[in-house]
């Protein structure tokens, strides 16, 4: 599917002046067939999908506003802050007249099944298995922009990969790349939903592709039913506050106790509502070298994480998508996964977590030790309670002891 990026030379690709027509860019004419050549160039750079949308207000803006007004975005304050900028792509790039939208396939060739997952491990969403996709997509789009500028010297552009207040998914639909599935992902008949989106906003007035008006979910509800936390309020409406991806990546602070067991073994993100989608089953795997799985990310040893310094976390995860959760978030998630797996061999690592400098990590480790509830785990909780000063962590420890049938009162002499 994807082909290796070419060198940026464009020998033989300049068009003769006779092939110009009257579409404009700052008063200049654009080459005939430029749109097809842009998409072809994008495919040569490795993008599975490429299309063009007009620079108009996004159609799904009212849906987004409703979603934000209902509080379904959780603590993603930046979504509220950027709400106005999403009204029109000119807030991202004032000169914009067209948007080239691309999709980079990252579907893995193989998933680690629950049976294959080592005892001390957890699952990481497959989008994070390789190099940070922002960098990979951005690098390719920069090449595309350079190539386009060689064709049309007046061309100016701005690249957006998840970082700008742009509803990329909306423009991808408008550009004919797919439809919105009931799991809120953009779905493409050939590539399913395992692809990263990126956008090149340009001052060229390109001919837009026709949008895909039809939906191909039919009567299927597999994603809605499979979600471990029942995060879908309705088809296409996600309550982010319940979504494992949000909880393990975006959310700072403790994760609600009632959701912890449902997180299962997901230590960063969640793929369930994509894995069950029939359109993903037959999609071809991606072949982008920079997105190929790093073995240590497909099935990491979570107990080792509790021995790492901040610097070691940085060394392991800087340059990958995991770094967004930062050390404290990753250790919090690791503790929850180890608590869910209930393997006593994780107790020494969780005991270290109980003395971590971060209260969030200590609280999650306390909960996990309460789930495992061996003598060693309970004894560690008792001794930590004697010196823990953070009120929330104290509460976690007491609850963990109580859930294991051990009222903290038995350590009355040590408890404040
Ligand atoms: Fe549910 Fe996981 Fe999909 Fe979130 S990512 S909606 S938790 S299945
Ligand atoms: Fe649509 Fe079914 Fe895929 Fe959900 S699982 S997105 S309902 S096709």
DSSP 3-state of 38: helix
- Report the distance separating Cα 225 and Cα 72, nearest Å: 19
Closest ligand 2 atom to 222 CA: 5
pLDDT at 416 over 80: no
Q: What is the mean pLDDT of residues 396-405?
A: 94
Q: Which residues are catalytic?
A: 162
Return the minimum-mean-pLDDT range out of 7-11, 108-112, 126-130, 147-151.
Answer: 7-11
User: Is the beta carbon of 212 within 6 A of some atom in ligand 1?
Assistant: no
Ligand of minimum distance to the alpha carbon of 223: 2
| Secondary structure E strands in 312-379 | none
pLDDT for 25 = 58
- Report the distance separating Cα 227 and Cα 233, nearest Å: 11
Q: Return the residue whose CA atom lies nearest to atom 2 of ligand 2.
A: 220
Q: What is the mean pLDDT of residues 165-181?
A: 96
Spell out the long-range contacts of 152-155 with Cβ–Cβ below 8 A and sequence spacing 24 or more: 152/25, 152/28, 152/30, 152/31, 152/34, 152/204, 154/25, 154/26, 154/28, 154/203, 155/25, 155/202, 155/203, 155/204
Q: Return the residue whose CA atom lies nearest to atom 1 of ligand 2.
A: 217
User: Is the beta carbon of 240 within 6 A of some atom in ligand 1?
Assistant: no
C-alpha to C-alpha distances, 129 to 109, 323, 397, nearest whole angstrom:
12, 12, 34
pLDDT for 51 = 98
pLDDT at 11 over 80: no
| All CATH 3.40.109 domain ranges in the chain, comma separated | 17-108+126-202
Q: Return the residue whose CA atom lies nearest to atom 1 of ligand 1.
A: 227
User: Residue 65: which H helix or E strand, with range?
Assistant: helix 61-69
Q: Return the residue whose CA atom lies nearest to atom 3 of ligand 1.
A: 273
Q: Return the residue whose CA atom lies nearest to atom 4 of ligand 2.
A: 223
Site to probe by mutation for ligand 2, drawn from 180, 184, 187, 194 as the one with most ligand atoms within 8 Å of Cβ, is: 187
Look-up of token digits 């290796």: 4
| All CATH 1.25.10.10 domain ranges in the chain, comma separated | 301-416
Output the CA 183–ligand 2 centroid distance in Å: 6
For residue 52, name the pLDDT band (cuts at 50, 70, 90): very high
pLDDT for 318 = 87
For residue 146, name the pLDDT band (cuts at 50, 70, 90): very high
- Report the distance separating Cα 263 and Cα 266, nearest Å: 6
Reported pTM = 0.88
pLDDT at 19 over 70: no
Closest ligand 2 atom to 224 CA: 4
How many other β-carbons are positioned within 10 Å of the β-carbon of residue 296? 13
Is the sign of the CA dihedral 322, 137, 299, 242 positive or negative?
positive
pLDDT at 15 over 90: no
Query: Bigger pLDDT: 337 or 73?
Result: 337
Query: Bigger pLDDT: 101 or 411?
Result: 101
User: Is the beta carbon of 279 within 6 A of some atom in ligand 2?
Assistant: yes
User: Is the beta carbon of 354 within 6 A of some atom in ligand 2?
Assistant: no
Percent of the chain with pLDDT over 90: 74
User: Is the beta carbon of 401 within 6 A of some atom in ligand 2?
Assistant: no
Ligand of minimum distance to the alpha carbon of 193: 2
User: Is the beta carbon of 221 within 6 A of some atom in ligand 2?
Assistant: yes
pLDDT for 292 = 85
User: Is the beta carbon of 192 within 6 A of some atom in ligand 2?
Assistant: no
Average pLDDT, the chain: 89
Site to probe by mutation for ligand 1, drawn from 272, 276, 280 as the one with most ligand atoms within 8 Å of Cβ, is: 272
Ligand of minimum distance to the alpha carbon of 238: 1
User: Is the beta carbon of 236 within 6 A of some atom in ligand 2?
Assistant: no
pLDDT at 409 over 80: no
pLDDT at 2 over 70: no
- CATH 1.25.10.10 given to domain 301-416: yes
DSSP 3-state of 98: strand
pLDDT at 127 over 50: yes
pLDDT for 406 = 80
User: Is the beta carbon of 277 within 6 A of some atom in ligand 2?
Assistant: yes
Closest ligand 1 atom to 274 CA: 3
pLDDT at 240 over 80: yes
Closest ligand 2 atom to 181 CA: 6
- What's the CATH code, domain 17-108+126-202? 3.40.109
Ligand of minimum distance to the alpha carbon of 273: 1
User: Is the beta carbon of 125 within 6 A of some atom in ligand 1?
Assistant: no
pLDDT for 238 = 96
Percent of the chain with pLDDT over 70: 91
The residues, any chain, with a CB within 8 Å of residue 218's CB and separated by 6 or more, are none
């Amino acid at each position: 599917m994807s082909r290796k990026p070419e060198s940026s030379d464009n020998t033989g690709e300049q068009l003769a002046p006779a092939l110009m027509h009257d579409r404009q860019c700052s008063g200049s004419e654009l080459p005939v067939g430029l749109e097809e050549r842009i998409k072809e160039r994008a495919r040569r750079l490795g993008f599975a999908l490429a299309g063009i949308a007009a620079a108009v207000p996004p159609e799904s803006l009212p849906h987004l506003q409703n979603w934000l007004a209902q509080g379904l975005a959780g603590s993603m304050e930046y979504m509220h802050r950027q709400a106005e900028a999403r009204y029109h792509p000119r807030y991202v790039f004032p000169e914009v007249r067209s948007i080239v939208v691309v999709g980079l396939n990252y579907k893995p060739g193989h998933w680690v099944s629950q049976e294959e997952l080592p005892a001390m491990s957890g699952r990481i969403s497959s989008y994070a298995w390789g190099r940070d996709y922002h960098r990979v997509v951005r690098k390719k789009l920069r090449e595309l922009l350079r190539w386009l500028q060689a064709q049309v010297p007046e061309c100016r552009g701005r690249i957006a990969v998840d970082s700008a207040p742009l509803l990329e998914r909306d423009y991808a639909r408008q550009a004919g790349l797919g439809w919105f599935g009931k799991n809120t992902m953009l779905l493409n008949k050939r590539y399913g939903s395992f692809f990263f989106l990126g956008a090149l906003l340009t001052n060229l007035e390109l001919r837009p592709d026709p949008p895909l008006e039809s939906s191909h979910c039919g009567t299927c509800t597999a994603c809605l039913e499979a979600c471990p936390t029942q995060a879908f309020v309705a088809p296409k409406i996600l309550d982010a506050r319940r979504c494992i991806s949000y909880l393990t990546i975006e959310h700072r602070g403790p994760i609600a106790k009632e959701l912890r067991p449902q997180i299962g073994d997901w230590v960063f993100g969640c793929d369930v509502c994509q894995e069950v989608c029939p359109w993903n089953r037959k999609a071809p795997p991606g072949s982008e070298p920079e997105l190929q799985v790093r073995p240590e990310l497909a099935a990491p040893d979570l107990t080792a994480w509790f021995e790492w310094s901040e610097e070691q976390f940085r060394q392991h995860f800087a340059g990958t998508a995991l770094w967004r959760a930062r050390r404290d978030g990753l250790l919090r998630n690791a503790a929850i996964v180890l608590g869910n797996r209930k393997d006593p061999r994780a107790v020494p690592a969780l005991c270290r977590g109980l003395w971590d400098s971060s209260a969030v990590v200590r609280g999650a480790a306390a909960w996990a030790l309460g789930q495992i509830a061996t003598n060693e785990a309970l004894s560690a909780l008792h001794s930590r309670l004697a010196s823990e000063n953070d009120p929330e962590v104290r509460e976690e420890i007491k609850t963990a002891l109580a859930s294991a049938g051990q009222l903290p009162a038995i350590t009355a002499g040590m408890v404040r």
